[in-house]
Structure 1
Amino acid sequence: MSSPDTVPPARRQTRQRTAVLELLDELDGFRSAQDLHSLLRERGDSVGLATVYRTLQSLVDEGRLDVLRSPDGEAAYRSCSPSHHHHLVCRSCGRTVEVSDPPVERWAARIAAEHGFADVQHELEVFGTCGSCAAPPGR
């Protein structure tokens, strides 16, 4: 069993894996595996849905993708930066902004220490409405 700090070795670069990575690099916001599969098919890439799911999970395991779970449990994925960060996510359009915030890191460490926890990891997503979606029509 690997430690939480150990990143699994990268898998070999297959045509399907390359297609999924290239598509994710072109997109903004989080997308479901089904959405990605549909977009790949529209582009003419013959990648099976099961392969998309396996590829996404391996990319998450390698730290190359962020995964976000909706309130109904559906996972959505997007390319991410390698450094620790959090997300602002628009509930309307899905636009996502990566943010890093040292006060959040200090708060998480303080709360963990107060309760006797060690080796703490955290994820933070803040949901709201982006400026474009919140703006009245015609503005």
Structure 2
Amino acid sequence: MAQRNTWQRERVRDALADEPGFVSAQALYATLRAANTGIGLATVYRALAGLAASGEADSLQSPEGEALYRACSSGHHHHLICRNCGLAVEIAASEVEQWARKTAASHGFHEAEHVVDIFGLCENCAREKAQQSAQ
């Protein structure tokens, strides 16, 4: 069942597009609340779930188990994600695809599907961490 395009869903979509990386529903709600939109937390969760279901947003689970969302391009791709600031970079899927097919085949799997997201520290966060360690 398709979700209605309401002004609230549009505001959530716009706020998500303004984020540089993956963001939790709670964090996006805080942004919308600070902008005095009047959009409730339950509406943010519903809108994000709808955007993810329609392919307008990517959804993944953080290493801590929290659902994170990001406005995304279409087509199959993967991400490098900063564990500290949430910055996300889309990466080409070609090498990952070859590895996934080869690994699945070597274990006798057919029609394998995969989700690959790589978590680490972006250049800025790694530099800040190194500076803090040096102090």
Deviations along 1:88-129, one digit per CA (max 9) or x if unpaired, are 111221111000131210111222233343332211111111
Match of 1:99 in 2: 91
Q: Is the 8 A contact 2:76 2:93 kept in 1?
A: no
Structure-to-structure mapping, 1:44-63, within 5 angstroms: 44-63=36-55
Aligned pairs, how many? 129
CA–CA separation in structure 2 for the residues paired with 1:83 and 1:10: 20
Picking from 22, 26, 42, the partner of 2:34 is 42
AA partner of residue 72 (structure 1):
E
> Normalized against structure 2, the TM-score is what?
0.86
1:83 is paired with a residue of what secondary structure? coil
1:118 aligned to 2:93? no
Amino acid across the alignment from 2:65: G
2:87 is aligned with 1:74: no
1:16-59 deviations in Å (ceiling 9; x for gaps): 10000010111111111111111111111111111111111111
Report runs of 4+ in structure 1 exceeding 4 Å deviation: none
Tell me if 1:86 matches 2:78. yes
Q: For 2:104 and 2:48, how far apart are their aligned partners in 1?
A: 31
CA distance in 2, matches of 1:123, 1:33: 21
- TM value normalised by structure 1: 0.84
Moved more, 114-123 or 85-94: 114-123
Match of 2:125 in 1: 133
For 2:7, the equivalent position in structure 1 comes to: 15
> Quick one: distance in 2 between partners of 1:56 and 1:119?
29
Aligned partner letter, 2:53? D
- 1:74 and 1:46 mapped to 2: Cα distance? 24
2:54 and 2:113 map into 1 onto residues whose CA distance is 16
Q: Residue 50 of structure 2 aligns to a residue in which SS?
A: helix
RMSD: 1.6
